[in-house]
Structure 1
Amino acid sequence: MQVQCSSQEPNHTKAKHMKEMSELFPILGLLFSLISSTTMASFDDYTSFVYVGCSQSKYILGSPYQFNVDSLLTSVANAATFSSYNNFTSSAASGSSPAYGLFQCRVDLSVADCASCVRSALDQLSSLCPSASGAGVQLKGCFVRYGNDSFLGEPDTTLLYKKCGSVVPGGGYNSDLLGMRDAALSGLSGGGGSYRVGAGGHVRALAQCVGDQSVKQCSDCVAAAVAQLKDGCGVANAGDAYLGKCYVSYWSDGVYTSRHYHGGVSGKTLAIIIGVTLGLVIMIIFLSFIRRTGK
């Protein structure tokens, strides 16, 4: 009697394996989504809170000034959907109590991200400065301010917020770092425009002024911010200084990613860690599936 051999699995076994494989796809999809969202949250933190300032005076609810403020902030939200900067004066409800305001987004944000950032900033204003006659909030990616004083076009070098990175241990590296930092910051003084960049060795720097500033006003504000960083951050490997009408940041390669801190871990390192973790998890799931089907 001739016996025919076949390498094909019985139909019920194949069906079982296919069912097991199909059950793994949703798990892998969920895992990838969770890790991806964590990765994006780590890199894309343009709505992270930096500082807020609220006036002590409050407007009267239902007053003409409140209607002017509400109209102004609505204009800010609408304008952020197609531009990265604009300023407004709202006096429709009452010409005797106008409201002034502006918004500005970081130059590298897309229009969609700018609009998202401004919406988040407006939410922060309403929750942190309810009924304030004037207020301003700075997020990582945008700035919104309003008030009853005509601050539009006026210079303002008041220090509002400063943050320094880690202090580098002593040694010859300190003098090298300071030299590179000073060279990078010095590069911000040259040229015009509201956005400026500088570099020195492996230190990078940038500055951005509010759009209502002239070239001279911007240069004066940047110079004041640079002085704050040099005086206050010493040999720190990174620093941010936010003034009334500009901000300046500097960082050493590997410390910042997209100009934001990541808990001391560089963006590149974080990406490698997450990628390796994802690969190991997928491999473990795959090997587990192979063992199960082998049985």
Structure 2
Amino acid sequence: MGFSLLYIIIISMTLFSSDLIKKAKSSSSPEYTNLIYKGCARQQFSDPSGLYSQSLSVMYGSLVTQSTKTRFYKITTGTTSQTSITGLFQCRGDLSNNDCYNCVSRLPVLSGKLCGKTIAARVQLSGCYLLYEISGFAQISGMEMLYKTCAKNNVAGTGFEERRDTAFGVMQNGVVSGHGFYATTYESVYVLGQCEGDIGDSDCNVCVKNALEKAQVECGNSISGQIYLHKCFIAYKYYPNGVGPRGPSGSSSSRSSDSSSSSGATGKTVAIIVGGTAGVGFLVICLLFVKNLMRKKYDDY
């Protein structure tokens, strides 16, 4: 009976520890994989021969493979001009190669789930996006707004607009000089801007300027906002207490704050599991001690 009880306790505690590990892994999904928006063409492509599906699969594979080496990649696949598909991915400029891969590798599955086999699709996560379109798909302006989000909370008091607009100017100049990406915190306003990797500095400057102007109009005094145009996007957030994410050049980045919170959560989980394991060990020792006493008493008898 003693062995049965001991076995049950050990198995129960093992399953409990395993469950803790699983929960820790499921709750540690990084911030940069959050879904921002999807854009799906209404028309599904006709594919009786399977050529489109083959081109789409090859494109997905190439994009995921290249995401381990670069933050932007564009490719056209297909055996004929009629069945060709052009696709690209881009990662946020402050992501590492590993984070970029982790982000991009989720996009093919998400695209399939969210859009199916449409003739064009775009899926935007916090840290990366994927875009594809079949040959002949109608082109849209690079300045067209695809998505916006503005916080419901407004900034009270005076001086916010001037501070925000100055931060916008700093970021616009930084994106151009940084050749497509820049993030910084200026007077408690965190700003980030990025252009699609295949447009030049001049077009990037025009795109970011348009996005910033739309942010001023669309978001007003909102404490934060994001504006996504076809060829660029910008984001900002005001921190009244002066604490923001760590960014390039010593400012703050959502990436570094995200990794610190993730490691903190992991540390807590490890502490719980180690504590639980220590408790199991102590309990096993106690049970074995009692069992030996009972056996000795029985032998003496």
TM-score, length-normalised on structure 2? Answer: 0.70
- Pick the aligned partner of 2:31 from 45, 50, 53: 45
CA deviation string 1:232-253 (max 9, x = no partner): 1121111111111111011123
Q: What secondary structure, in the 3-state scheme, does the structure 1 residue paired with 2:123 have?
A: strand
After TM superposition, give the deviation of residue 111 of structure 1 in Å: 2.0
1:85 matched to 2:65: no
2:230 & 2:23 partners in 1: Cα distance?
A: 38
After TM superposition, give the deviation of residue 70 of structure 1 in Å: 2.9
- Residues 61 and 84 (structure 1), Cα distance of their counterparts in 2 relative to 1, 3 Å cut: same
Higher helix content, 1 or 2: 2
Q: Residues 62-141 of structure 1: matches in 2 within 5 Å?
A: 62-63=48-49, 66=52, 67-90=54-77, 92-141=78-127
Q: Which residues of structure 2 form unaligned runs of 5+?
A: 1-6, 247-252, 287-301
2:207 is aligned to 221
TM-score, length-normalised on structure 1? Answer: 0.71
1:64 & 1:275 partners in 2: Cα distance?
A: 48
Alignment-mate amino acid for residue 82 of structure 1: K
- Residues 235 and 94 (structure 1), Cα distance of their counterparts in 2 relative to 1, 3 Å cut: same
After TM superposition, give the deviation of residue 146 of structure 1 in Å: 0.8
CA RMSD of aligned residues (A): 4.1
Alignment-mate amino acid for residue 84 of structure 1: R
2:228 is aligned to 242
Q: What secondary structure, in the 3-state scheme, does the structure 2 residue paired with 1:40 have?
A: coil
- Pick the aligned partner of 2:164 from 181, 194, 197: 181
Alignment-mate amino acid for residue 238 of structure 1: S
Identity %: 23
Alignment-mate amino acid for residue 171 of structure 2: L
Q: What secondary structure, in the 3-state scheme, does the structure 1 residue paired with 2:58 have?
A: helix
Q: What secondary structure, in the 3-state scheme, does the structure 2 residue paired with 1:232 have?
A: helix
Judge conservation of contact 1:188–1:222 (CA < 8 Å) in 2.
no
2:93 & 2:47 partners in 1: Cα distance?
A: 36
